[in-house]
Amino acid sequence: MYKRQVYGDGLAILVGDALLTLAFEVLAHDVRPAQAALACCRELTKAAGAAQLVGGQADDLAGVDAANDLESLKSIHRRKTGAMFLASLKLGAITAGADHVQLRALEDYGAALGVAFQISDDLLDVEGNEAALGKRVGKDAGRGKLTFPGLLGIEESRQWAVALVDEACTALAGLGPRAASLEALARYVLERDR
Amino acid sequence: MYKRQVYGDGLAILVGDALLTLAFEVLAHDVRPAQAALACCRELTKAAGAAQLVGGQADDLAGVDAANDLESLKSIHRRKTGAMFLASLKLGAITAGADHVQLRALEDYGAALGVAFQISDDLLDVEGNEAALGKRVGKDAGRGKLTFPGLLGIEESRQWAVALVDEACTALAGLGPRAASLEALARYVLERDR
C-alpha cells in the first residue's frame, strides 16, 4: 500500500522539521504567562523526544515488538500514541491554569485512553482485513505487525478497551460536568468505525 | 559521492527529530530565569523553522539558486548557515543576560560572519576540486551547485570574505576585550584549510 510521495523525501523531512519547530513556536509565543509557556515547551520536549515519541517509533522500526510480548507492545504505543494524547491534554490544561490535582486526573485519563485508542485501531484493522479479505485474523493483522488482537484475541482486546475507557472516565470524576466532552471523546473510541 | 546510511533513512529522520527536540529541551530545562529560557526557545524556533533554516534548505532543494542570482544565493545561505550562526550567538548572549546593544552587536557580527564562512567554504571546495581534478572552476564547482566563486570568481569572492570578516570584527568593537575570542574565530574563517 506504499505510495510514493508527490514532493519527494527531502521536502517531506523538512516539512516534519518545520511543523515540529512550529509547535514550539506557538507555545513559546502565544501561551501566557511565561511560566506556563515554558512548562508547555518542557512538556512537549518530553513527549516528542527520544524518551517518548521518537523512542517508541525507533523501537517500532527496529522490530522490538517482534518479541511477541504485551509489555513491549504497550510500551511502544504508550510512547508513540499515548505521549501525544497526554501532551495534547496537558498543554491545554497548563494553558488554562490547571492545578496539580486536575493535571493528574488528565494524565490518568490520557494514559488509559491512549491504550484504548490503539486497541480500537488494531480492531478496526482486523475487521477491515476480515471484511475485505475473508482472512483469519491474528499476528498478521495490520501489515505483519504485532497487534493487540494478534496477542490477546479479538474478544479479550474488546473487553480490555471497554475497561480502559471506563478507567479513563473514572479518572475524570473529580473534574465535574466540565469534563463531559472528554468523557464523550473516550466513549467515541469504542464506537468509531474508521 | 553519496554514501548509503548505515542505519537507514527512517532512523536518520528520527535522530534529526530527536536532536531538534533535545535542543528545545536543553533551553527549556536549563536556562535561568524563565524569561531567558523562553526568549531562547523563541529565538531557536525563529532560526530553525520554515522562515529560516527549513525554508533555506527547501529553496536550496528546489533549485531556487538556479536563477544564477547573487541575491538568491545570499538569501539561501543567510537562512541555512547564517541563521544557525546567529542563533548560536544569541542563545549564549541571552543566557548570559546580554542587553539590547550587545545583542545587536552580535547580530551584526553573526550576519557578516555567516556569509564569510559560506564563501570560504565554497573557496575550499573549489580549491579542493582544482587540486584533485585539475579542473577549471566556475559554476560547476561544488557538485553542480551555484557557489560564490562560481558567480563572482575566486578573487572577488576572497576579497569579499576579507571585507565581511573586517565588518564582523568592527561590529564587536563596543564589546571590548571580552570579544577577543569571537574576533579570533572570525579571522580563522579566512585561514582555515578544511
Q: Are residues A77 and A147 in the same domain?
A: no
Residue with cell 533555506: B56
The DSSP code sequence of A136-190 is PPSTTTTTT---HHHHH-HHHHHHHHHHHHHHHHHHTGGGGGGGHHHHHHHHHHH
Task: Give the separation between CA B79 and CA B24, rounded to whole angstroms.
Answer: 19
> Of A46, A61, A95, which residue sits at a domain end?
A95
Domain span at residue B186 reads 8-191
A47 neighbourhood in chain B, CB within 8 Å: none
Backbone φ and ψ for B30, nearest 5 degrees, come out as: -110, -15
* pTM for the predicted model, two decimal places: 0.87
This model of the complex carries an ipTM of 0.86
Q: Are residues A77 and A63 in the same domain?
A: yes
B46 neighbourhood in chain A, CB within 8 Å: 25
| DSSP one-letter code for A90 | H
pLDDT digits (tens, 9 = 90+) for A34-49: 999 999 999 999 999 9
Q: Are residues A63 and A114 in the same domain?
A: no
Task: Give the separation between CA A104 and CA A166, rounded to whole angstroms.
Answer: 17
Q: Are residues A40 and A67 in the same domain?
A: yes
Domain count, chain B: 1
Task: Give the separation between CA A103 and CA A193, rounded to whole angstroms.
Answer: 30
The verdict on residue B2 lying in a domain is no
> Of A71, A95, A119, which residue sits at a domain end?
A95
- Please give the residue of chain A at the shortest CA–CA distance from B46: A25
Q: Are residues A161 and A83 in the same domain?
A: no
| Stated length of chain B | 194
Q: Are B118 and B77 in contact (CB under 8 A)?
A: yes
Subunit contact B25:A42, Cβ cutoff 8 A: yes
Q: Are residues A56 and A113 in the same domain?
A: no
Pick from A14, A35, A38: CB nearest B54: A14
Q: What is the CATH number of the domain that holds B57?
A: 1.10.600.10
Give the pLDDT band of residue B146 (cuts 50, 70, 90): confident
- Please give the residue of chain A at the shortest CA–CA distance from B30: A42
Q: Indicate the residue type of B190.
A: L
Longest CA–CA separation in chain B, Å:
56
Mutation target vs A (from B4, B25, B31; most A CBs, 10 A cutoff): B25
Q: Are residues A160 and A146 in the same domain?
A: yes
Q: Are residues A40 and A84 in the same domain?
A: yes
Q: Are residues A68 and A113 in the same domain?
A: no
> Of A95, A128, A144, which residue sits at a domain end?
A95
Task: Give the separation between CA B49 and CA A150, rounded to whole angstroms.
Answer: 41
Pick from A18, A45, A57: CB nearest B21: A45
Least confident of A38-47, A148-157, B137-146, B165-174: B137-146
The verdict on residue B134 lying in a domain is yes
Q: Indicate the residue type of B44.
A: L
The verdict on residue B1 lying in a domain is no
* Most confident of the ranges A17-26, A123-132, B131-140: A17-26
Q: Are residues A104 and A194 in the same domain?
A: yes
How many Cβ atoms sit within 10 Å of the Cβ of residue A34? Answer: 16
The verdict on residue B3 lying in a domain is no
Mutation target vs B (from A22, A54, A91; most B CBs, 10 A cutoff): A54
How many Cβ atoms sit within 10 Å of the Cβ of residue A6? Answer: 7
Task: Give the separation between CA B174 and CA B176, rounded to whole angstroms.
Answer: 6
CA B165-B20-B187 angle, to 5 degrees, is 15
Q: Are residues A194 and A165 in the same domain?
A: yes
Q: Are residues A14 and A81 in the same domain?
A: yes
B18 neighbourhood in chain A, CB within 8 Å: 49-50, 54-55
Subunit contact A21:B20, Cβ cutoff 8 A: yes
